[in-house]
Amino acid sequence: MVSEDQKRSPRNQKYPATEGNGQSQNLNDAVFSPRFKSAAAMAGWDEEALLLASLVVEDTPDRDFKHKKRSVLNSKTPPTNSRRKRRAQSSPESIRVAVLDLDEEDTPRKDSGKKTKEKKATVNEESKEGGKESGVAALPCIDKLRDELSCAICLEICFEPSTTPCGHSFCKKCLRSAADKCGKKCPKCRQLIGNGRSCTVNTVLWNTIQLLFPQEVEARKAAGAINSRQQSKCLSPEAAFYNNLRNGESTTTRGGVSTRRSSGRAAAITDQEARRLQGVRSRRGITPATQTEDAAIALRLQREEFMQAFRGTQEQHHSSRSSSVDLARENLRAMASRAMSLRIRDRRF
């Protein structure tokens, strides 16, 4: 067959170059399949690099081999191994030429082979390879995967999926609130679900999702952080105040680039502020600053800075506005002191 010859050809050209180490070659015959070796030859890896690679991937399932092979077939740079790269660069020119010749006729055939292999593989394996490889968007079945891997409750990609005994997966949080509010039944098939099982994350699925949809997962993580803050807001007015401050902190830092430019005067003011607060604390005999208080102060510093910057830009055009900024600052100060006194009162009772 033509394809067989094509596959062998790089090896034939390669072996004369590496004939010196026949021993390792024998060893390789036992370790690697001919297909893998031909692919490796195409990439210009010599026997030593192959052996080294075999040591590295020895204990991993063969999906890694597949991955490596495929990344070679796609004529990308081999996985980030500086040594391999160096070898590939230093390999004789004749091999390079052979690779180029092969690529034209051979890649379409191998691509189709790859596709059938992918179909055979389970969804998990497939998706993992997809994530590791080039773009997730390159996967033709990404839309179906998105449907499959989304939670039926929130309709988004499962976040920390938890699998019921009946085999359905939902976000851990979604499943827990469903069990709380709608009874301990699977939302999909209404089978009874146990209590303990619903709290464990299906790690394989979760890792798969993280590999496949990194952006969605990141967005969800960020949203989760904000939500948890907002939920804790409702605890008490005092907590709400500090949480508010912290919420503000997260947003003001976004505009931090412009704030950085503000003069050192703001810093001086805020330093004073901090010291004043410290003084207040010590005068009233309050226990040392807690984390929330520190965060609040840090935020105030930032906010002052922001105000300063804001005023700096506004003053050039509308000097009248500065009074309103002052007003806002006074308001802030008043609020802070009110919160402090609230806190103190709480402590006393």
Partner 1 sequence: MKTSSGGAGGGRPSSSSAPTYSWAPTTSVSASGKRIHREMVELNNDPPPHCSAGPKGDNLYHWIATIIGPPGTAYQGGIFFLDIIFPSDYPFNPPQVVFKTRIYHCNVGTDGHVSLGMLKDGWSPALTITKVLTAIRSLLTNPDPYNAVVPGIAHLYLENKAKHDLVAGEWTARFAK
Binding site for partner 1 (CB under 8 A): 152-156, 174, 177-178, 181-182, 185, 187-188, 190, 223, 226-227, 230, 244-245, 247-248, 250-252, 331, 335
User: Residue 73 or residue 301: which is nearer to partner 1 going by CB?
Assistant: 301
Q: Kindly state the DSSP code that residue 288 receives in the 8-state scheme.
A: P
**Residues 330, 285: contact at Cβ < 8 Å?**
no
Residue indicated by tokens 């103190």:
344
Q: What are φ and ψ of residue 136, in 5° steps?
A: -65, -35
Q: Cβ 226 to partner 1, closest distance in Å?
A: 5
User: Residue 11 or residue 246: which is nearer to partner 1 going by CB?
Assistant: 246
Q: What are φ and ψ of residue 143, in 5° steps?
A: -70, -40
User: Residue 34 or residue 255: which is nearer to partner 1 going by CB?
Assistant: 255
d(CA 56, CA 79): 12
Q: Cβ 270 to partner 1, closest distance in Å?
A: 17
Q: Cβ 309 to partner 1, closest distance in Å?
A: 15
Q: Cβ 148 to partner 1, closest distance in Å?
A: 14
Cβ-defined contacts of 119-127 (< 8 Å, 24+): 121/63, 123/148, 123/208, 124/204, 124/205, 124/208, 125/63, 127/208, 127/211, 127/212
User: Residue 124 or residue 252: which is nearer to partner 1 going by CB?
Assistant: 252
170: which strand partners?
Answer: 162
Q: What are φ and ψ of residue 162, in 5° steps?
A: -125, 135
Q: What are φ and ψ of residue 168, in 5° steps?
A: -95, 145
Q: Cβ 173 to partner 1, closest distance in Å?
A: 9
Q: Cβ 155 to partner 1, closest distance in Å?
A: 4
User: Residue 72 or residue 299: which is nearer to partner 1 going by CB?
Assistant: 299
Six-digit token string for 54: 């075999």
d(CA 47, CA 65): 16
User: Residue 254 or residue 283: which is nearer to partner 1 going by CB?
Assistant: 254
Distance of CA 258 to the CA centre of its chain: 28
Element (H, E) at 166: none
User: Residue 94 or residue 227: which is nearer to partner 1 going by CB?
Assistant: 227
Q: Cβ 12 to partner 1, closest distance in Å?
A: 54
User: Residue 212 or residue 296: which is nearer to partner 1 going by CB?
Assistant: 296
Residue indicated by tokens 């036992």:
30
Q: Cβ 131 to partner 1, closest distance in Å?
A: 23
